[in-house]
Amino acid sequence: MVLNITCIPGDGIGPEIVAQAKKVLDKVAAVYGHEMKYTDILMGGASIDVHGVPLTDEAIATAKAADAVLMGSIGGDTTTSPWYKLEPSLRPEAGLLKIRKALNLFANLRPAVLYDELAAACPLKEEISAKGFDMMIMRELTGGLYFGERKTVNENGVRKAIDTLTYDENEIRRIAIKGFDIAMKRNKKVTSVDKANVLDSSRLWRAVVEEVAKDYPEVTYEHMLVDNCAMQLVKDPAQFDVILTENMFGDILSDEASMVTGSIGMLASASLNDTKFGLYEPSHGSAPDIAGKDIANPIATILSAAMMLRYSFDLDKEADAVEAAVKQVLADGYRTGDIWSEGCEKVGCTKMGDLLVERIQ
Ligand code: NAD
């Protein structure tokens, strides 16, 4: 099979971690008889430096022509980088919002898994972490507060900022369907998270989720308020299978879930549209503090590449092989600095990529 993949190395550690993911994909191609065709595009700060904008229309066209997009990360140090002196629509993150919208990537999937070997890095009490957890956070990605109208006005000498949170029932229905579909492939449980005791958008969310749930009699579902969910994630994360939620709540809850796994460097993500097309990227940012030092953890990006094999190309065997290699490398005692603990061998970004390549058979 020929896999046409657009790559966005991006900024900071992005180019380092994408290089490792490409190495792993190349090994998968060699072992399973596929051909990887990569086309790189610029986005974020890297694009601002060359084109003056965080994402060009040509780059979007290249991404659209591919089967899937594999991304590192974009952005710089938000207090010192000159990119953040530009007006908001020209900053690195605007490129990310633009590509999500252009590719209609409305469903964001973030798995949060506690690996046995990393249980010591989990900040939760041992009696909680001992139960383990394996959840998928499904976040709506192209609506809600981050895409609503916003402005800052001056009223009688007082500055006032306004952001609007809007959802229509179609936006809610399509993400709910994705959430229930994913639950059918997992443990058949959906926790829909909202703030229905306060927000109208949440009350509509709840109503539409209930309509969609009727088509999935095998899936058990529950509603949970977002503040309770934030607590439950640290109190009893094992209760969750699929967490289905809107854009801003998902942004915050997925970061919290990432912290309870012990390392942000392990967390993959996928953003999907209605077809097989998806954009795959680690959940973490561009980590400008460690860029260029060859110490970043490439595993989140490599696990994102595994999700790409599974969801965009239906190559489940190949995805399983990548995930098994990650488990094996951890079992063999190799760690990057962010997940290192006493008794393990500390390795850099490139070395971790090499070790994973060796373990894909
Ligand atoms: P960050 O995720 O980049 O870094 C937070 C901390 O985690 C840092 O200490 C960093 O060194 C560490 N870290 C992150 N990834 C790591 C990895 N793979 N291995 C080892 N350590 C890792 O978050 P931040 O510092 O808040 O943001 C930095 C930049 O990234 C900002 O410009 C932000 O806007 C951007 N960002 C981009 C994305 C994206 O591209 N999707 C997502 C989040 C943040």
pLDDT band at 100 (very low <50, low <70, confident <90, very high): confident
CB of 285 within 6 A of ligand 1: the answer is: yes
Catalytic annotation, residues: 146, 195, 227, 251, 255
* pLDDT greater at residue 258 or residue 71: 71
Provide the strand spans (E) within 93-241. 107-113, 134-140, 150-155, 158-163, 189-194, 220-225
Residue 145 in contact with residue 161, Cβ under 8 Å?
no
CATH code for the structural domain at 1-113+262-361: 3.40.718.10
CB of 43 within 6 A of ligand 1: the answer is: no
Q: What is the mean pLDDT of residues 294-300?
A: 97
Give distance in angstroms: CA of 57 to centre of ligand 1.
Answer: 26
Average pLDDT, the chain: 95
Question: What are the pLDDT digits (tens) for 209-230?
Answer: 999 999 999 999 999 999 999 9
The pLDDT value recorded for residue 122 is 87
In this structure, the residue with its CA closest to atom 7 of ligand 1 is 287
Question: What are the pLDDT digits (tens) for 324-345?
Answer: 999 999 999 999 999 998 999 9
Q: Residue 168 burial by CB count (10 A; 0-12/13-18/19+): exposed, middle or buried?
A: exposed
In this structure, the residue with its CA closest to atom 8 of ligand 1 is 287
Give distance in angstroms: CA of 185 to centre of ligand 1.
Answer: 30
Element (H, E) at 182: helix 169-185
* pLDDT greater at residue 307 or residue 274: 307
Q: What is the pTM of this model?
A: 0.88
Give distance in angstroms: CA of 291 to centre of ligand 1.
Answer: 10
Distance CA 1, CA 296 (A): 31
Residue 96 in contact with residue 44, Cβ under 8 Å?
yes
pLDDT band at 258 (very low <50, low <70, confident <90, very high): confident
55 pLDDT exceeds 80? Answer: yes
CB of 48 within 6 A of ligand 1: the answer is: no
Q: What is the mean pLDDT of residues 343-357?
A: 97
In this structure, the residue with its CA closest to atom 36 of ligand 1 is 285
